[in-house]
Amino acid sequence: MSARHRLSLYRRILRLHRLKLPDLQRSVGDQYVRQEFRAHRDVKPEQEKQFLHQWEDYAAHLSLEADFFGLGRDLSKADVESLSDDQKAQLQRLQSSAASIGIQEKAEAGDNPYEKQ
């Protein structure tokens, strides 16, 4: 894949985040995309092909389905099992970050997320 294709995909994802995601999700998503694209800058061609393919799928999902069906999808058991240990650790960090954002949003709305209902 060319550097031009890579940059175009990167920009398209950031543009989709700007158009489709709420501010907090956009902030987390943009940071994650930047980190991933930097971390995978100098990988083998086969890894780059797979990396870009997954991000193209993400962009397609975000552009086609976000307006109609909500965001995201659950990972299948097979998806989770196919992850490397590093990817599983990263998934845990993302889940923790997402959970803390939910707590932050509730607090900003005046709800105490730690208070029992």
Digit-coded pLDDT (tens) for 8-48: 999 999 999 998 888 888 999 999 999 999 999 999 999 99
Write down the domain spans for the chain. Answer: 1-72, 74-111
What is the rounded average pLDDT for all residues in the chain? 83
The reported pLDDT for the residue numbered 106 is 53
Report which DSSP code applies to 74. Answer: P
Residue 104: what pLDDT? 56
Evaluate whether 4 touches 11 at the Cβ level (below 8 Å): no
Q: Which of 9-18, 61-70, 88-97 has the lowest mean pLDDT?
A: 61-70
Give exposure, 39-52, as e/b (b: 16+ Cβ within 10 Å): eeeeeeeeeeeebb
pTM of the model: 0.60
Lowest mean pLDDT among 48-57, 68-77, 83-92, 104-113: 104-113
